Structure 1
Amino acid sequence: MFKRIALVAALAVASTTAFAAPVTYKIDANHTSVVASWSHFGFSNPIANFGQVDGAITYDPANVGSSKVEVTLPLAGLDSHVVKFDEHLRSADFFDAEKFPTITFKSTKVEAAGDKKLRVFGDLTIKGITRQVVLDTTINKVGEQPMAKRAAAGFDATTTIKRSDFGVDKYAPNVSDNVTIRITTEAVVPKAE
């Protein structure tokens, strides 16, 4: 009888572990980079970093399909390392940041794509125009972040978009229409209130 009770208890614990709820992590802007790169007349491949990232990642390794991502990129955090160029990028020639101060991404579907790989489908909105993009994503690590002493998750992702799809097409095609976006992010479970 005791063995049967112990077995039922063990199965209950196992089923709770197997069906654990998804975990929601807050993006750590200090350990997150969203970098865009493009060809400048074929001579160079400049970059711009979109800093001050805000958002959340919900990840469930047992049920990847229930995972989701929601991110806001304030254009105030745009940094190409050239102040005058940053101002030009924020102008109406490109992002028109005064009228559209943020870029957003909201996932619509997440699916497994191999060992430590995901495909994150979602709606990217730039200048009020929304298009679906796919982020090819690598799961770097999920575990306790030693400095925060809380659960954390880290991911890298890449995608390529056409800037003309979002009305950011000044100087195309000489300055390439295709823009590669590389993301690395660390996200931590928020502190308990």
Structure 2
Amino acid sequence: MPDQPVRYHRAAMALHWLLAALLAFQFALGLRLESIAVLSDRFNAYQLHKSVGIMILLFSLVRLALRYIVPRPPAADGGAKGLAARLTHGLFYAVMIGGPLTGWAVVSTAKIKLPTVLFGIVPWPHLPLSAALLEPAELAHTILAWLLPALIALHLAGVAWHWRLKDGVAQRMVPATVAPFGAVLGGLTLLALAAVLGTVLTAPNWWRGISAPPAAAPSVAAGADQPVPIDTATPEPQATEPEPTPEPTSSETAAALSSDWQMQPGSRLGFSTSYAGTAINGSFGNWRADIHFDPANPGQARISAAIMLASARSGDAERDETLKGPSFFNAANQPTARFVASGFQRAGKDRYTAAGSLTLNGVSRPLRLTFTLVITGDKARASGTANLSRLAYGIGRDEWEATDQIPDAVGVSFTINAVRK
């Protein structure tokens, strides 16, 4: 056709090279997602991967529209070579459009549905798909991803062929002002830099409002007596941090007779674990404990605690939703965990043990607490720890049962401030 241009439209050129860089970056980033050790960095990398994928999808649709709206150069070859060229270009569009779509389907059908927020700004919805499509979507996404480097190799081979023929086809995707050698060198450099960036980049924390990096947590194995700070059900508990309790005198300790105690603001309950080697602090914002204790007769002590599992917090909004879900706390069906113990045993000065029973996720098992207890007049302060097996309570089902990422042992720590009723 006489009105067909020699070169592609500048908008098509810009989209071609932008998509080339994004695809190289996306492929390199995707290869290392699962190897990122720090959980918060991995979450950010996945969010970046999803954000770039949607960008590729939208730009590819625009590029496809331009292909039919803006005049383009005529086909370079006919016959078998022309068919191979058209097939390669068609497969490129399949990768550029199908890759993001299958990735979107994987995110939408995953058992744990993490939200997608494009570059930390634009919320992106899930597709209304059946969970049965998860595995087919994962397979299709993997096939399309590995098809990309093969297509790039074929495309570069075609460019080299036309470069050898000196027929001008290799220069149709660059402005006329750019020298042929500079165009080839610049294109290869762009692809290499994008791939290197995808390999080494630590994704920026644009999703701070969604995923806060977990704070350092005490080791479960260490059994440290330091409590994990948490909020209580009382509003603004951080503003009512209790003053340090002074050491009791012997007369004050002796004066503490059999009594019921009422938990006060500033009491804390938490748990500690790790994921992929990264320590995680957890806490419960809504819990209560009823206590009956006489230091002169610890064998008659009683404690009953109720923990609202939906109040779990770990510094990561998506992880908190996962913890509440059926694979972990199952808070919708088993909203409350309960610990009950009768009779304390002395284990030293101001130190006690309590053998009780923890009911969690519909499972009741023995649990022993070790704690310190100091009473000053009508005030008491107890701090302690315990270790438990999450798998014994069915916490972490399906793919979360493996202990290579999340250990079976979970540390529990608490501080209770109380006053005599």
- Deviation of 1:45 after TM superposition, in Å, equals 1.4
- Deviation of 1:120 after TM superposition, in Å, equals 0.8
Partners of 2:365 and 2:343 in 1: how far apart?
14
- Deviation of 1:123 after TM superposition, in Å, equals 0.6
Structure 1 counterpart of 2:261, from 25, 34, 58: 25
Could you tell me whether the CA contact under 8 Å between 1:56 and 1:187 is conserved in 2?
no
Cross-structure match for 1:181: 412
Equivalences for residues 163-178 of structure 1 within 5 A: 163-170=390-397, 171=400, 172-174=402-404, 175-178=406-409
- Deviation of 1:19 after TM superposition, in Å, equals 9.9
Cross-structure match for 1:69: 303
Runs of 4+ in 1 over 3 A off after TM superposition: 18-21
Cross-structure match for 2:334: 100
Could you tell me whether the CA contact under 8 Å between 2:301 and 2:342 is conserved in 1?
no
| Higher relative contact order, structure no. (Cα contacts within 8 Å, ≥ 6 residues apart) | 1
Partners of 2:349 and 2:326 in 1: how far apart?
43
**Larger Rg computed on CA atoms:** 2
Equivalences for residues 46-65 of structure 1 within 5 A: 46-65=280-299
Could you tell me whether the CA contact under 8 Å between 1:108 and 1:123 is conserved in 2?
no
- Deviations for 1:108-160, whole angstroms, at most 9, x for unmatched residues? 33111111100011110101110011001111x3124xxxxxx2211001010
Matched, 1:124 2:354: no
Letter in 2 for 1:117: R
Partners of 1:189 and 1:62 in 2: how far apart?
15
Letter in 1 for 2:410: V
CA RMSD, Structure 1 to Structure 2 (Å): 1.9
Count of residues in correspondence between the two structures: 165
- Deviation of 1:183 after TM superposition, in Å, equals 0.7
Partners of 1:20 and 1:103 in 2: how far apart?
30
- TM-score, length of structure 2 as denominator length: 0.38
Which structure's residues are more often strand, by fraction? 1
Matched, 1:142 2:359: no
Could you tell me whether the CA contact under 8 Å between 1:22 and 1:66 is conserved in 2?
no
Partners of 1:20 and 1:88 in 2: how far apart?
44
Structure 2 counterpart of 1:109, from 310, 318, 343: 343
Q: Secondary structure at the match of 2:275?
A: coil
Matched-pair identity in %: 26
- Unaligned stretches of 5+ in structure 2? 1-253
- Deviation of 1:27 after TM superposition, in Å, equals 1.6
Change in Cα spacing, 1:157 to 1:63, as seen in structure 2 (3 Å) is same
Which structure's residues are more often helix, by fraction? 2
Answer with 85-94 or 102-111: which moved more.
102-111
